[in-house]
Amino acid sequence: MPSSTDLSTESNYKRFGLQPETDHDDDNPSHAIQDRYEPVIARSSSFHSLSTSPTSRSRQSSPNHSPRLGPSRLSSFHRSHSSFSSSPFTWNAWGFLKNWKLRLNPPQQHKGKLKAGKSWYRTKRVKGLLLLIGLLGSFLLVNWIMLTRLQDEAVHPITELSRNSSADSVSVSVQGKWKKNRKGKKPQKGNYERLLALATHALAENKREPKDLWQEPFVPASSWRPCADQRDWEPSEGNNGYILVTANGGINQQRVAVCNAVVVARLLNSTLVIPKFMFSSVWRDVSQFSDIYQEEHFIKYLTPDIRIVRELPEEMQSLNLEAIGSVVSDVDMGKEAPPSFYLKHILPILLKNQVVHFVGFGNRLAFDPIPFGLQRLRCRCNFHALRFVPRIQETGALLLNRLRQHTGHIGLLDRYLIGPFAESILEGKGNHSKKASKYLSLHLRFEIDMVAHSLCEFGGGEGERRELAAYREIHFPALAHLEKTTKLPSPLELRSEGLCPLTPEEAVLMLAALGFNRKTHVFVAGSNLYGGQSRLTALTSLYPNLVTKENLLSSTELEQFANYSSQLAALDFIGCTAADAFAMTDSGSQLSSLVSGFRIYYGGGKMPTIRPNKRRLASIFTKNSTIEWRVFEQRLRKAVRQTKHVQTRPRGRSVYRYPRCRQCMCRTD
């Protein structure tokens, strides 16, 4: 049986229109209401606990009625009413009845006081209600004004970073897009309309950025220093024959292929011919090694390691390499083949024919197991031997200068990226005391080739599926055939496993949740997005200071790189690598891997990189229709923070991305 305290507490909850307190979740908003009334309920409970009789409980259960006598006393009174004049207790009963009547019918002056009190209470309630309505109306008005201003700013970027460029071509109003969606078809699932609206409100508050947002864990990160330039062996004579390499893919895959070819040449004691780059129907670039990298520096720097020539001897140029069995394609060897494969299968061909041609060569050399010296040679080639040609360096210097708002600031990595042109940044800058503008670089790996190859869906419906399937038929026929003949994981399963690239909408939500404020300068690499410039809508509406190399460099300055996607990608590499913070959206991207590794190798523990765990982010984004912004921020920051720690290279992982290993870097502690 419940105690009088329990019953009285329950009755007081009914008085205030509340439910009795039960076990609840900490995030339940009803706690605020219950907390407001806890002092009232506590005082009421302490009062009612003084009486435990049935009579006191009956009074407490009807607080709005006058006090009543108990049933036994009422029946006794009725029985004695007819003969009260003859009863020995007549006058006592009459006195009691008179007092009771006065209590039921107080004098007129008391009634007046009660009425006045009620009138004052009602007036106070009305005034309080009007005040509450006024405050709510003021809040809604201010909120509407702020949102209108944000939408207006989204149409017109607030800064012009180059006199020869205009951000108007990039900035599109998110309001206009939403209106269009409401009038037409149902918005795509990838648009995250609700979360983008919440992000807009959050950025409007202009909160202070987290302290570690632009920082790397300095103490453990700075304990590593570059040392891949150190050698402890004699040069290779290269007298076992010649290695020809034709590398496929884009500039980043080709860079990896060049470094692997250098190591294979040393392993087989052979001479390396300057690598060739295969023409790709995807990138459509005819650039060769000397169009991107300084050939003379490459040869000279690696001479203590291997012998390098520009072409085959004249007597061997007429050989039919395929006829003599000296052509080895990527089909003939697996990915990341160990050194033993080359010694067993390639060296005999080389000794027999004096030449081997690797066609479609890329990531065909394992990271482990491999001898210490060969691993260090691979790092030496990537971080020291490959330097961009002067015209790319010069344009890269212009790009960095404008990204930093013409402050004449030289970054930590500038000399390794743009060579002697780093000094040109300081020319003509009389005031060096002005602090350089920080900028964040973002690599959006969302080109059509990546989108199509991922086999994921991005909210475009049946039209998107047909378009990407047609692209795979042309550019990835093997994948298209596999898709028809094999049961592959569904797009939903791929996304849940973190195998889909982040969309531009997901990328901007990640930046906003991490705490980058609205004024942040953002440089976007890989801006040739699937879906066109309209996919940048979400980015430009939340971050008006968003630019690409096409915005910062004039058409005249970019004219020399027209139709050369690899050379344009080299400018993106420079812009991303030199940034104060770098955010990747696809950890499997070669550009992201090379950029993050370069920042680790030369950054001295001051170049933070944001590597999202896409599997964890996928589970967070699936709740986009219900999750609150505060919870979204907490979960996303936790997911990203766990990938920011400093670690040595895990076994079998890329030294280009994880150079913190004793083969590439040395510990200072």
As a whole number of angstroms, the distance between CA 178 and CA 174 comes to 6
In angstroms, the Cα distances linking 307 to 273, 301, 317, 445 are 9, 11, 18, 37
Residue 667 has pLDDT above 70, yes or no: yes
Q: Which residues contact 553 (CB under 8 A, 6 or more apart)?
A: 162, 164, 165, 395, 398, 399, 402, 571
Residue range 53-67, pLDDT digits in tens: 333 333 333 333 333
- Cα dihedral angle (603, 605, 610, 614), rounded to 10 degrees? 110
The residue with greater pLDDT, 304 or 25, is: 304
pLDDT attached to residue 98: 47
Does the bond joining 369 to the residue before it have cis omega, within 30 degrees of 0? Answer: yes
Answering whether pTM is above 0.85, one says no
The residue with greater pLDDT, 430 or 335, is: 335
Residue 513 has pLDDT above 70, yes or no: yes
pLDDT attached to residue 48: 39
Residue 155 has pLDDT above 70, yes or no: no
Per-residue pLDDT, averaged over 292-297, amounts to: 98
pLDDT attached to residue 358: 97
Q: Please tell me the least confidently modeled range out of 103-112, 279-288, 506-515.
A: 103-112
Q: Please tell me the least confidently modeled range out of 166-170, 274-278, 363-367, 548-552.
A: 166-170
Amino acid type, 346: I
pLDDT attached to residue 282: 73
Per-residue pLDDT, averaged over 426-431, amounts to: 58
**Residue 80 in tokens:** 């004695």
Furthest-apart CA pair in the chain: how many Å? 150
Per-residue pLDDT, averaged over 570-574, amounts to: 97
Q: What is the mean pLDDT of the chain?
A: 79
Number of other CB atoms surrounding residue 445 within 10 Å:
23
Strand partners, 308: 272
